[in-house]
Amino acid sequence: MERHTRQRAAIRGAIASVNRPLSVAEVLVAAQQQVPGISLATVYRNLRILADEGELVQVKLPGESPRYELSGREHHHHFQCRYCQRAFEVYGCPGTLAHLVPPGFLVEDHEVILYGQCSGCIQVPLESRPRPQAGSIIPPGNNLQPSRS
């Protein structure tokens, strides 16, 4: 078991303080509020350690780098905003989906990902919304400008 450091506590706290999966870049920005000198390499290393220890789980969205959320939560799915790219947890499940597969197939797991506009983005007129570049960070709330970190 790894030792617990201020950096690891800041990373764990950043993820625990929100009710949605965070990208590595979002974790970095949030952790820097507690530990200003924390580096991207430190965030990556500690995310791996926390995932290996079972404290975090990876959320994999198609075409995206993994995001991280606390482990131990009940079964759920995800929603990704097409404008700010943030991911959110969606509770509820359509069931096993076994009726969708061909006869003789066995569904072992599933992930449902919904796409659309989050509540923060939907409040801003479409023509005023900047489309973020890949890898940019949109801070939580109604501020839709990518952060510069």
CATH architecture of 1-72: Orthogonal Bundle (1.10)
> So where are the chain's domains?
1-72, 74-134
SS3 assignment for the chain = CCCCCHHHHHHHHHHHCCCCCEEHHHHHHHHHHHCCCCCHHHHHHHHHHHHHCCCEEEECCCCCCCEEEECCCCCEEEEEECCCCCEEEEECCCCCCHHHCCCCCCCCCCCCEEEECCHHHHCCCHHHCCCCCCCCCCCCCCCCCCCCC
Which pLDDT does position 144 carry in this prediction?
A: 33
Q: What is the pLDDT along the chain (149 residues), one digit of tens a residue?
A: 456 689 999 999 999 999 899 999 999 999 999 999 999 999 999 999 999 999 999 999 998 999 999 998 888 899 999 988 999 989 888 888 888 999 999 999 888 999 999 998 988 877 776 665 444 444 444 333 333 33
Residue 57, pLDDT score: 95
pLDDT at 133: 47
Helix (H, G, I), strand (E, B) or coil at 81: strand
The CATH architecture to which 74-134 belongs is 2-Layer Sandwich (3.30)
